[in-house]
Each structure stands twice: as C-alpha cells, then as structure tokens.
Amino acid sequence: MAEEGSNEDGVVAEIEKKITEAFKVFDHEGNETVDVREIGSIVRSLGCFPTEAELHELLAKVEEEEPTGYVHLEKFLPVMTKVLLDRSYRPIPEDVLLHAFEALDENKSGYITKEELVKHMTEEGEPFTEEEMEEMLSSALDPETNAVHYRNYISLMVVDETDDLPQ
C-alpha cells in the first residue's frame, strides 16, 4: 500500500495509527473501548504531560454523554489526534524540573527530606494518592539519609524524549 497524497495526510495517518495502537494495548475486551481510568495512561504514554485538570478537560470531550465508564476509540481518536498535532501538553524539560525541586529545597542543600517531600506532594498542587507517594519514595528515597537527592533522581528517571512523530 503506497502512501500517496500530501505529506500532511501521511503525518496524520501515522499519528492515528500510533494512537490506535496505544489505545488497543488497554483494550482488554477487543471491542475498541477502554476503561475511562486508563485514558490518563494512554494520553501520557503518547508523549503528553497534562496536569490532572487538563486531563479532566480532555475526558469531558471523549466520554459518552451518559457516562458508562468506557471510552470508545471512535471518540478518542479525533480528539487525541488534534492534541498531538497541536502539540498540547508539552514535556517538561529537565532543567525546569530541576528548578521545581530546588524551589522545594529551602536550604539549597541538594536534597529534600522524606517528610518535606511527602508534605508537598500530598498536600499541595494536585496531591498524590498514598499509593503514588509510596511508589515515588520507593525509588527516590536514599534509605541511608532518608532523603531524596533530587539531581540523582532526575537523571535516573528522565526518559528519552525524542519526538519520533514525523516532522
């Protein structure tokens, strides 16, 4: 099947294929629907960094009128395609992330204590659930100092963000 038409069509087609693939990974019943609670994972694994609030906005566009708890690929595809084409919810560069941690590090000591981190993450911003907090601590916390040395942590966790969408 040769790809004809303008380059733009090719780009859109490729994006749609990618979205469909990601969607289907969570489609357990093989009927082109996913649980609404998985939409966050799908959107994020396609390269987007939405806040929880932005995610709720997106959900409102793709959910059924009478919420069934499921989202159909039909509705999701055009909305998500637009998100990717518009490059909404862009990734957070490493240095911005570093500044964020530094903002929480009052003494500029290079680390944040466990208590401080837990307080910030579970009480401010869009708070973590207990599970999320535990999981973050399990990999971020240095058990000897009981603190998070954030420079190390960031470099371990920052994922290769090469944008492999066609230009």
Partner 1 sequence: MGSGSSVNVNYKYSLQKSENAFKAAVLIQRWYRRYVARLEMRRRCTWRIFQSIEYACEQDQIKLHNFFSYLMDNFTPSSSKERDFISRMFISGESFKEAELEKYCDYESLEVPDSYTGPHLSFPLLPDHATALLEAFKQKQQLHARYVLNLLHETRKHLKQLPNISHVSTCYSEEVTVCGDLHGQLDDLFLIFYKNGLPSPSKSYVFNGDFVDRGKQSLEILIILFTFLLIYPKEVHLNRGNHEDHMVNLRYGFTKEVMQKYKLHGKKILKMIQNVFCWLPLATLIDQKVLVIHGGVSNTTDLDMLEKIQRNKFISVLRAKKRKELNRNVEIKEINGESQAEPDSAGNETMSSLPSQPRPAQAPSMANRVEFSRWVRQTVQEQIEWCRKLVDISDSEEEELTCSSLVSLTDLDGPCWTRQEEWKQILDILWSDPMPQEGCRENTVRGGGCYFGPDVTGKILEKYNLQFLIRSHECKQDGYEFCHNRKVLTIFSASNYYEIGSNRGAYVKLGPDLVPHFVQYQANKTAHTLTMTQRISRVEESAFRALREKLFAHTSALISAFKVYDKDNTGRITLSNWATAVESVLRLGLPWRMLRPQLVRSTADGMLEYKSWLDDLAMEQRSQEHIQSSLLEVIYRNRSNLETIFRIIDRDHSGLISFEEFHQTWKLFSSHMNIELTDDGINDLVRSIDFNKDGNIDFNEFLEAFRLVKQSQ
72 is an interface residue for partner 1 by CB under 8 A: no
Q: Which two structure tokens, joined as six digits, stand for 42?
A: 């799908």
**CB closer to partner 1, 63 vs 89:** 89
Q: How far apart are CA 47 and CA 91, in angstroms?
A: 7
Instruction: Tell the smallest beta-carbon distance from residue 138 to partner 1 (Å).
Output: 5
130 is an interface residue for partner 1 by CB under 8 A: no
69 is an interface residue for partner 1 by CB under 8 A: no
**CB closer to partner 1, 24 vs 75:** 24
8-27 residues near partner 1, rule: CB under 8 A: 10, 13-14, 17-18, 21-22, 24-26
Q: What is the CA radius of gyration of the chain?
A: 19
CA angle 119, 45, 102 (to 5 degrees): 35
101 is an interface residue for partner 1 by CB under 8 A: yes
* Other C-beta atoms lying within 10 Å of the C-beta of residue 55: 17
Q: Give phi and psi for 85, each to the nearest 5.
A: -65, -40
49 is an interface residue for partner 1 by CB under 8 A: yes
* CB-based contact 149:112 (threshold 8 Å): no
Please provide the distance, in angstroms rounded to a whole number, between the alpha carbons at the two ends of the chain: 21
Query: Which residues sit at the interface with partner 1, rule CB under 8 A?
Result: 1, 3, 10, 13-14, 17-18, 21-22, 24-26, 28-31, 40-45, 48-52, 91-92, 96-97, 99-101, 103-104, 120-121, 124-128, 132, 135-136, 138-139, 157, 159-160, 162, 164, 166-167
